[in-house]
Amino acid sequence: MRTWMIATLLALSPAAAVAGTPLPDAPHVVVQGEGLVSVAPDSATVSMVARHRSTSAAEAKRVVDRAVDALLEAAPGFDIDPDDISASDLVLHEDQDYDDEGRRLLPVEHLATREVKVRLEDLDRLGEWMDAALAAGFTNVSDVSFKSSQEARLREDARKQAVADAREKARGLAVAFGGRLGPVYSINSLNSMQAHGYGNTSLDRVVVTGSRIERGRYLEPKIDFTERVSAVFEISR
């Protein structure tokens, strides 16, 4: 008895497409389905760094502490709950240069650094919050991570799309080769992915300088939830 199989390769090697997915001895088709749900986030976690270099360790610490205090004073004006603010410990160390012969160059400088993370729900004021951080004395905005309070539901929606996509591809292939799609034999959830950013560009780091467009407006942020499944369907002639 001859066994025939149809396999679709969708961004996976043959081995990866069926890894961990049992295969039947009867005719079958292996497919990968993908589901994507995009949504506007309803909050963002903004990470900011205050950094100051001085020949005086006390002065370096004082400047950084002043920046953190100024930002905390500004937070209530953005309706930020105190529980949504966290700050790292102050990091203070010597930042010393040496000449080619290994001798210390004077003066010895001290570098003070502190990071503050804030969860912001009013995304329309994201740019304003960054400006407030810079005005307070923070030297850069190191990261913006967008979130959605509906993440669980959105992932489930993307998973349902992936299942429907796999079934439709399997049915189309079975019919194209003169067969009929039978019951599902096995399912393997491959991986899920979340990407966030402005437009179609992932945002790993926000650089304040030059990131604005159209007179201070920012691009609309979004979050993409992607789910993938690999499924094996039996085929009848």
pLDDT band at 20 (very low <50, low <70, confident <90, very high): low
Question: Which domain does 30 fall in, by range?
Answer: 5-40+150-236
CA distance 14 to 27: 17
Alpha-carbon distances, residue 163 vs 40, 89, 105, 185 (angstroms): 24, 47, 65, 13
pLDDT in tens, 56-68: 999 999 999 999 9
Looking at every residue in the chain, the average pLDDT score rounds to 82
193 and 103 together in one domain? no
pLDDT digits (tens, 9 = 90+) for 73-132: 999 999 999 999 999 999 998 877 776 766 776 688 899 999 999 999 999 999 899 999
Q: What is the pTM of this model?
A: 0.67
Domain match, 113 and 52 both: yes
Q: What gap in Å lies between CA 83 and CA 148, rounded to an integer?
A: 18
| CATH number of the domain that residue 74 is part of | 3.30.70.2970
Indicate if 141 and 154 belong to the same structural domain. no
| pLDDT, tens digit (0-9, with 9 covering 90-100), for 141-166 | 889 999 999 999 999 999 999 999 99
Number of separate domains in the chain: 2
